[in-house]
Amino acid sequence: MAVKKLEVPLVGDVNEDEARIALAAELYREGKMTLKQAADTAQLTLWDFLYELGKRKISYTNIAVEDLQEELGEIGEGAHACG
C-alpha cells in the first residue's frame, strides 16, 4: 500500500489527532477503506477505532439495509426448511 502525506490547515480547536480520526471514520463510512485500514490511518487500535465509530454513530458492519434484509430473509427461509 502506498503511503501518502496530506497537509491540511487546521482551524479552530481541531487538533491533528481529531482530524486524522474524523478523516478515517468518514472514509470508512463511505466504503473507501477497510476497518483495519481506517484504524491504522487514525493511528488507533481496532477497538479504539470501533469506539470512535460508535461515538459518530457510524456502523462498523458497513452493510446496506437492503443487503441485511435479504440475508435475514434467507436465514428465515432456511429456518422454515429445517423446522
Chunked mean pLDDT (size 10), the chain, 83 residues: 82 92 95 93 95 93 77 75 58
The C-alpha atoms of residue 34 and residue 75 are separated, in whole angstroms, by 26
Please report the pLDDT score of residue 71 as a whole number. Answer: 79
Q: What pLDDT was estimated at residue 57?
A: 93
CB of 24 closer than 8 Å to CB of 42: yes
Q: Are 53 and 28 in contact (CB under 8 A)?
A: yes
